[in-house]
Amino acid sequence: MATETVTLHGQELNYLDAGVGPAILFVHGLLGSHRHWVHLVDRLTSAGYRVLAPDLFGHGGSAKPTGDYSLGAHAATLRDLLDHLQLERVTLVGHSLGGGIAMQFWYLFPERVQRLALVSSGGLGRQVSPLLRAAVLPGSEWVLPIIASRWLTTKVNIAGRALSRIGWPARPQLDEAWRGFVSLGDADSRRAFLATTRCVIDIGGQTVSARDFFPTRTSVPILLIWGARDRIIPVVHGIAAAKLIDGSQLELFENAGHFPHLDEPDRFATLLREFITD
């Protein structure tokens, strides 16, 4: 699906812009890109919505500069993109790291957020996958080039194709996770990944929490979507947040993992449409 590019502060930002109508701004997670949302485009644009899905700096087709990869920096970039597109308010949808960025955006620019949907969101508790905690260990910048090398990823790809030929079921979330991991073979992507991860995670887990800043009541409607089988960020974070925020809505995808929007796109799109029109 065709994307566009805008130069913000001297760096190119790649983004998807499709449809006409009320705007929905999607924010992907670590090692993600706009590709995580493309399967929702037809489902939403046909219902009269405008879909915006940028590649965050350090990800996908966007620039990977040396610099600030904090939640606030990413939130400011989203604000600049909306200014470029002359959009005042949007429904904001953030997945994983993107959920943390979405909450930071809401905190900094509340007048720009019409509704907020958090999907398996970071920033709501300490626990996180040991794999991500390992990425912040000293020396990880020397280990990642080895495990993400072209030689090793090619071998794994060959094994994956062999499994698919004997009937191993394809999973969209595994495809996207693998695509993100392979991107670490690029030195600039790897540096941006480590910088981003170390802004929000240490060896003990997530270091940034929005729970202390969440109002118990808010005029902004909030939807929480979580996969009950999430092994990256536990579902208890979503349950606790739903109890904390009066009037919020929690939807559990019983058979989904960390990517409910990939595991059950039809249900996800329906929920989102209902959330926006309610």
For residue 259, being part of any structural domain is answered with: yes
* Domain identity same for 115 and 162: no
Domains held by the chain: number: 2
* Domain identity same for 89 and 141: no
Catalytic residue list contains 84: no
DSSP three-state, residue 159:
helix
Catalytic residue list contains 186: no
**8 Å CB contact between 184 and 192:** no
* Domain identity same for 15 and 89: yes
* Active-site hit among 28, 34, 258, 261: 258
* Active-site hit among 59, 62, 95, 230: 230
For residue 201, being part of any structural domain is answered with: no
Is the pTM higher than 0.85? Answer: yes
* Domain identity same for 111 and 14: yes
Domain range enclosing 175: 132-195
* Domain identity same for 220 and 114: yes
* Active-site hit among 62, 96, 189, 248: 96
* Domain identity same for 156 and 224: no
pLDDT (tens digit per residue) in 107-160? 999 999 999 999 999 999 999 999 889 888 887 665 565 555 454 445 444 444
For residue 202, being part of any structural domain is answered with: no
Report the C-alpha gap between 211 and 63 in whole angstroms: 31
pLDDT (tens digit per residue) in 47-70? 999 999 999 999 999 999 998 999
Angle (nearest 5°) at CA 58 between 55 and 62: 45
